[in-house]
Structure 1
């Protein structure tokens, strides 16, 4: 169906679209919101250019899709607990998202979506890769789908959060949850692979060697270029991805240049 208020340009057959004809610095009408929502459901990650949103406009846009999530570890800017700072420069020892992951999958109710606005980007490099877990699941053999159906895996934040945000995390309680290896999208009904290299520790109720082997296969399978879109950032670009069916990876190929922005994350539901 043709959109009335925005233009949607598909970037690959499986994932990704660029949205034009809308200003996120202004309140959205009901039709605009619905068309943006529908584009996200169809393409799993959507991109906007030239959107110099301030922190309030950024949060307002996120709240259209649900309550905002507060990150369990990363310190926010003053007075804005819902904001995750994304910043790298010559003094950085690491960046967030260097491995494939779905945001905060260690939570009992992981975020439904994340909205990243970058206002400063390197002259070259710093792209983000996004991968469709719907497409990755669809490409599995029927035997593998049968094997994975009904399995659960443990996701933990400890291995990624320990020591990252504080020199003393003695009393830190790290989120840890169990989720289905294959989850069903609550709106589209599509199935997707829901394990990732950053947070998933093991598949439950199978021998560790079997778990390690299956996870290694799934990680390699999910990282195939066939399921990906690669986004090149410009100042004031915005990316909005559906964490329920997308993994992403941030490239750190621009050191010592600066890459800086804010992320708003929308609360989700318990995977099923």
Structure 2
């Protein structure tokens, strides 16, 4: 028996014209590699580790961060940081001095004259309800990429938490890079972008105050895709607070591409969300992540102190 070519049951139905706008985020399977190809997974011997998400975020149990780190413990924590990008430690209640001492195991501590100071120049204090400047809430960003050498990492402790809300999210920027459209990924591999402190801080400070820091923090260029100095992994390194343009592109094209790149941090599969309790500590790799402080607690008080570790020049 033969079927006529014009038999409706054998033809592909005609559909109306349809398309999704180019360069958006689309549904489908994500590439979720926690570590670089060829990385050797090994058990942790000096603490318990409890993963919090697929590629990013792990709680470390069984450590008292107020005690000095042995060489072996520091090395194992560093491996955990490289593998999980952000580490969480419950109920530490560190003094400011102990917090600084812990962070100093990873290098020289950074100062930031643009933010409110804690009890020393290395401590930044965020005290929302006490009239502090509400900096960088509800925006995905990587800290201080307007510096020639952005921070390597940061240690944040919550001194006081609201009854509900005030969570922080982190995004894995290696996963964000892996999931870029292949043509965009190839194009961005050797692109460079300008970073400037003014766009981010102009939301909080008047021009007279901003002008004081223009000479200290001129615009800088960084690669759009940086290599992690310890793992060699490629990571997306632009953010909506400080990245202003892609070098060598017309403004409209640069803006379009940056919007696409900024969106990558918004994918839930690349994220971990942490609900704080007073005394909790988070230690994150600023080279490999963006983070977002959720401002959903109104006038209730939330007090945090951060110590940042000086970093290297991205390449």
Please give the range of the TM-score, normalised by the shorter of the 2 chains.
over 0.9
Change over 3 Å in CA distance of 1:186–1:264 after alignment to 2: same
The reply on whether 1:64 has 2:108 as its aligned counterpart is no
How high is the TM-score relative to the length of structure 1? Answer: 0.95
Change over 3 Å in CA distance of 1:172–1:163 after alignment to 2: farther
1:84-137 superposed Cα distances (whole Å, 9 cap, x missing partner) = 112211746734343100000000000010110011001110000100000011
The reply on whether 1:32 has 2:59 as its aligned counterpart is no
Normalized per residue, the structure richer in strand is: 1
Matches within 5 A, 1:211-250: 211-250=254-293
Runs of 5+ unmatched residues, structure 2: 1-41
Larger Rg over CA atoms: 2
- Displacement of 1:166 in angstroms is 7.0
The reply on whether 1:47 has 2:47 as its aligned counterpart is no
Q: State which of 172, 176, 189 in structure 2 corresponds to 1:136.
A: 176
Change over 3 Å in CA distance of 1:133–1:163 after alignment to 2: closer
> Contact 1:82/1:265 (CA < 8 Å) preserved in 2?
yes
Q: Which has the higher contact order (CA 8 A, sep 6+)?
A: 1
1:140-168 superposed Cα distances (whole Å, 9 cap, x missing partner) = 23211111111100000012224736784
Distance 1:15 1:211 in 2: 29
Change over 3 Å in CA distance of 1:145–1:163 after alignment to 2: closer
Q: Provide the alpha-carbon RMSD of the alignment.
A: 1.7
> Contact 1:158/1:175 (CA < 8 Å) preserved in 2?
no
The residue number in structure 2 matching 1:116 is 156
Distance 1:60 1:108 in 2: 25
Q: Structure 1: which 4+ aligned runs deviate by more than 3 Å?
A: 90-93, 162-168
The reply on whether 1:180 has 2:205 as its aligned counterpart is no
The reply on whether 1:83 has 2:123 as its aligned counterpart is yes
- Displacement of 1:77 in angstroms is 2.9
Change over 3 Å in CA distance of 1:135–1:163 after alignment to 2: closer
SS of residue paired to 1:215:
helix
- Displacement of 1:3 in angstroms is 1.8
Distance 1:227 1:152 in 2: 23
SS of residue paired to 1:36:
helix
How high is the TM-score relative to the length of structure 2? Answer: 0.82
